[in-house]
Amino acid sequence: MATIEPALRRGRLCFAEARPTVQFIFLLRFLTGTALCASVAGDDGHLGRTLWGAAAWVMMIFAVYLFNGVMDVPEDRLNGSRRPIVRGDLPPGFASAVAIGAALLSLAAGFALSPLMGGMLAVVLTLGYLYSGPPFPLKRSSGGTVLSGGVATLLTYYGGAFSYASEIRSSLMLVVFVLAASLWTALVGSTTKDLPDIEGDARAGRMTFAVMHGERVLRLTICCTAIGLALAFAAAVLLLKLPLWPSALAMAGGALVITVLCFKGRRREPYGAFMATQYALHGLAILPLLLI
């Protein structure tokens, strides 16, 4: 019992280091891809495959973000983070070993489901390493962050669709939602996340958009991007007569809140509003399809 308790505690710390809120939003993205595919595939899908695929995907995201926590220690210290590794509660070596084990387990589960699923998992794992790992981590530039975040998000939706139907049965509704939500994540998520960390990122040598252009330009960019994406999504839903108007309203509301917070000079709250919008965006896309 004396040896089990420290291991369980370290396991909980690994889970906390890997950011449960981010893991949950990736699960929501996966299930949204499943739900939008089910609207086309109908009863041809398989719930067991979907659950297996979701477990493999979440395990992979856990591995990626735990590895990111190990590699982000210098920046996290400069930015005042209180995550377990920075606090000294979780040894980086232990976290790295758990991340490697989780990555291998997710790949094994993915390839057991299908070669395509395993391949998609391998791509996102590779992006996760390239984002944080040596020799040239993508996290040092905003372009690298947008690329890795956008591709990982897009593949998550299609991973969910593929797990359900054993093939990707695309539809206009799936394409429009995936494009809008992926751009929202890549462009609004990456910029709001950088807002509170400008000084620390600069001292750590990151050449992000915020570091290069300053806080004032960043805030204006966030507002314009969020509002522009929300308007484009709403226009597509309206013109194409898609049943995604609740999600479009959620994005519009989120864009408005983020804009107000940016003009008020808030730093951490815009990212919180971005995440809240993510939950609403996906929940409102899934719920109507479950009620049909």
Which pLDDT tens digit goes with each residue over 44-54? 667 888 999 99
Which pLDDT tens digit goes with each residue over 67-78? 999 998 887 787
- Amino acid in position 247: S
Between 214 and 19, residue with greater pLDDT: 19
- Whether 55 shows a pLDDT value over 80: the answer reads yes
User: Which pLDDT value is given to residue 289?
Assistant: 62
Closest to 194 in 3D by CA, of 153, 155, 144 = 144
With contact defined as beta carbons under 8 Å apart, do 157 and 185 qualify? no
pLDDT category of residue 167 using cuts at 50, 70 and 90: confident
- Residue at token pair 């995201």: 61
Please state, rounded to an integer, the average pLDDT across all residues of the chain: 88
Query: What pTM does this model have?
Result: 0.89
- Amino acid in position 60: M
With contact defined as beta carbons under 8 Å apart, do 225 and 252 qualify? no
User: What's the rounded mean pLDDT across residues 110-137?
Assistant: 93
With contact defined as beta carbons under 8 Å apart, do 176 and 130 qualify? no
Which pLDDT tens digit goes with each residue over 197-241? 777 667 766 777 777 877 889 899 999 999 999 999 999 999 999
Share of the chain above pLDDT 70, in %: 93
Q: Could you tell me which residues come within 8 angstroms of residue 198 by beta carbon, excluding any fewer than 6 positions away?
A: 208, 210, 211, 215, 218
User: What's the rounded mean pLDDT across residues 110-133?
Assistant: 94
Q: Could you tell me which residues come within 8 angstroms of residue 221 by beta carbon, excluding any fewer than 6 positions away?
A: 191, 209, 213
User: Which pLDDT value is given to residue 1?
Assistant: 45
- Whether 257 shows a pLDDT value over 90: the answer reads yes
- Whether 3 shows a pLDDT value over 60: the answer reads no
Range scoring the smallest mean pLDDT among 51-65, 145-159, 162-176: 162-176
User: Which pLDDT value is given to residue 204?
Assistant: 64
User: Which pLDDT value is given to residue 2?
Assistant: 43
